[in-house]
Amino acid sequence: MPFLPFVPLWREVMERTHQYALSGYLIALADDELILGHRDSEWTGHAPILEEDIAFANLALDEIGHAKLWYELAADLLGEDKTIYPDKLVYFRDAAQFRNIQLAELPKGDWAFSTLRQYLFDAFEALRLEALSQSSYTPLAEIATRIRTEELYHLRHSQAWVLRLVLGTEESGRRMQAALDALWPYARALAAPLPGEADLHAAGIVPSSAALFEHWSSEAIAFLQSANLSIPSSFIPHPSSLVDSRRVHSEYFPALIQDLQAVARLDPEAQW
Amino acid sequence: MYGADVEQIAIQLNEDPQKLADFEARIARGEKIEPGDWMPAEYRRQLIRMISQHAHSEVVGMLPEGAWITRAPSLRRKLILLAKVQDEAGHGQYLYHAAETLGATREEMLDALLDGKAKYSSIFNYHTTSWADNGAIGWLVDGAAILNQTMLARCSYGPYSRAMVRICMEENFHRKQGQEMIILYSQGTPIQRAMVQDAITRWWWPTLMMFGPHDADSPNSGVLIRWGIKTRTNDELRQEFINQLVPDLQACGIVLPDPNLHYDEASGNWRTGPIDWDEFWSVLKGNGPANAERMAARRLAHADGAWVREAAAAYAAKNQQQVN
């Protein structure tokens, strides 16, 4: 008698509502990675030194690669074909359907802005991935563990550059302070819950963003202060409702999405 | 002992005839010349010129394709293109290091590029006007570069030769992804087929020009071949490329923009019509469609990055002080 095919148990165990909620959660997580990777990739060929062309292209590769992994897992949960579904999500959703935070989508700015944004993001992601690697949902925990090793390199790279730039020259220090002042309000959205988070958190599948944010802000503030940056006096909630912060985009976002989807939408029937 | 012709060259180049004869004997034995070894000043000069031009070509070459990374039409294509352009940056870095072994500094080489004194491959002075251009660049331009680089992997200067071995391996992936894209699109929708035809039509002639002028008009070829830097001529390499590509492109249903293209039974070669060398020299002199933009992009990145480089240097110096 032939062996029975392996049936992934989680599919049976996880409740349908959780499956659906988790797919939405993962798509939002992937959107953050995709959009940050998109902005990172804009440095390719334009970085201050050749070594950073390489490094930023690598960051972009990793972020977009991670987005792909999360989209694929979402496809699995929804019973969609994971070779097709990620591209459908990326190329055929409208801007308003993306769930990334604005921090990821802001234009790349100067090198100080991109480097500091990367640090703020990397530091938060390190904590989120650590938590996700403990998820009760094994496929999620496995991917988080895999991604985490790469993200730790990102964090090391962005931390090293933050120090270099803050402590380098008067100009670089001034630019970094300006970058922090501009980014800090947007960083508040890291605390915003991802879609479906409350139920998933209660089921031990994902961490609470608010709790991660507490941890992150004390770590980030300590690091940035140790580098002589002054922390802006308070987070300005932006936009007004934190809960909506993944539904509201900046004025820069439609152009980003138009650029991202320009070729794919020339011929939606084509295999690109 | 050395021949009369070595003596003559030694006088011309103001080199010690015995040392020159020993050097040429090493090359004849197939030995690699390494950084600390004796070499004629002209050998060093030619290598710095070639290797730095090659490095500049990689760096400027990031721009035409890099512009399409954000627009790549699938996640797979996006990851491939990002990795490819990243490889080009890596090749540039690797080649600058190879040139540094000859005593050039990266700053000098970059200054020469930004001042417009150093050349880079003329092919990157053409615009990438559609997504399919990335396929054409992969299959045609990288394919042409690989022929040249495979030859250079056997060159007499050790560091350049070893850099080329590694670079050729990666370039092969670049070529393959371009070939796969062109073949797929040539069987795709009407929009894709038209896009591919247009791309090949525009990139065909500039790619043939990449191999450089005809042998008779190539001023550096003689000494480069004598010292084992080049082992094949521009025309030989170009002919091999044409023979490889014509049947493959025709099999895709692509029409090449050359009414004189024909197969020559006697020699077994595909023969093209005349190459427009006026266009080649004009692009090389800075008058190509995108020369000004490419240089402007490099200069802007360099100027915008100045404060970052200063900060990194200042930070390193402060740390050094603390260590001392």
Cβ distance A48 to B304 less than 8 Å, yes or no, reads yes
Specify the CATH class of A15-266 in words. Answer: mainly alpha
Question: Is residue A239 reached through a cis peptide bond, with omega within 30 degrees of 0 on the bond before it?
Answer: yes
In this prediction, residues B25-33 reach a mean pLDDT of 95
Residue A240, pLDDT > 60, answer no
Tell me, what's the pLDDT at B194? 98
Interface contacts (A, B; CB < 8 Å): 139
Minimum CA–CA partner of B92 in chain A: A50
> Which of A49, A87, A267 shows the shortest C-beta gap to B192?
A267
CA distances from B134 to A84, A147, B20, B196, B207 (A): 22, 29, 45, 10, 13
Residue B1, pLDDT > 90, answer no
CB-based contact, B320 to chain A, within 8 Å: no
Tell me, what's the pLDDT at B220? 72
In terms of CATH, what superfamily is B32-323? Ferritin, core subunit, four-helix bundle (1.20.1260.10)
A198's tokens: 């409350």
**What integer best gives the mean pLDDT of chain B?**
95
Q: Which of A92, A260, A271 to mutate to test the interface with B (most CBs of B within 10 A)?
A: A271
Confidence of residue A4 (pLDDT cuts 50, 70, 90): very low
> Which of B69, B189, B315 shows the shortest C-beta gap to A44?
B69
In this prediction, residues B191-214 reach a mean pLDDT of 97
Residues B230 and B155 sit within 8 Å (Cβ to Cβ): yes
In this prediction, residues B130-144 reach a mean pLDDT of 98
Tell me, what's the pLDDT at A234? 64
Q: Which residues contact B258 (CB under 8 A, 6 or more apart)?
A: B204, B205, B272, B273
CB-based contact, B123 to chain A, within 8 Å: no
- What is the residue-wise DSSP string for chain A? -PPPPPPPHHHHHS-HHHHHHHHHHHHHHHHHHHHHHHHHHTTTTTSSSHHHHHHHHHHHHHHHHHHHHHHHHHHHHHT--TTTHHHHHHHHS-GGG----HHHHS---SHHHHHHHHHHHHHHHHHHHHHHTT-SSHHHHHHHHHHHHHHHHHHHHHHHHHHHHHHS-HHHHHHHHHHHHHHHHHHGGGGSPPTTHHHHHHTTSS--HHHHHHHHHHHHHHHHHHTTPPPPSSPPPSSS-GGGGGT---TTHHHHHHHHHTTGGG-TTS--
Cβ distance B314 to A41 less than 8 Å, yes or no, reads no
Cβ distance A91 to B74 less than 8 Å, yes or no, reads yes
Q: Which residues contact B194 (CB under 8 A, 6 or more apart)?
A: none
d(CA A93, CA A185): 27
Tell me, what's the pLDDT at A241? 66
Q: Which residues of A touch B300 (CB under 8 A)?
A: 46
Cβ distance B86 to A58 less than 8 Å, yes or no, reads yes
In this prediction, residues A122-128 reach a mean pLDDT of 97
Residues A161 and A190 sit within 8 Å (Cβ to Cβ): no
Whole-structure pTM value: 0.94
Residues A125 and A136 sit within 8 Å (Cβ to Cβ): no
Cβ distance B305 to A111 less than 8 Å, yes or no, reads yes
How close, in Å, is residue A59 to chain B by CA atoms? 10
CA distances from A227 to A69, A179, A223, B142, B279 (A): 34, 14, 6, 45, 55
Q: Phi/psi of residue B264, each to 5°?
A: -100, 105
In this prediction, residues B239-260 reach a mean pLDDT of 98
Render pLDDT for A37-67 as a digit per residue (tens, 0 to 9). 999 999 999 999 999 999 999 999 999 999 9
How close, in Å, is residue B118 to chain A by CA atoms? 18
d(CA B33, CA B26): 8
Tell me, what's the pLDDT at A139? 95
Tell me, what's the pLDDT at B66? 97
Tell me, what's the pLDDT at A2? 43
Residue A239, pLDDT > 80, answer no
Residues A66 and A86 sit within 8 Å (Cβ to Cβ): no
CB-based contact, B324 to chain A, within 8 Å: no
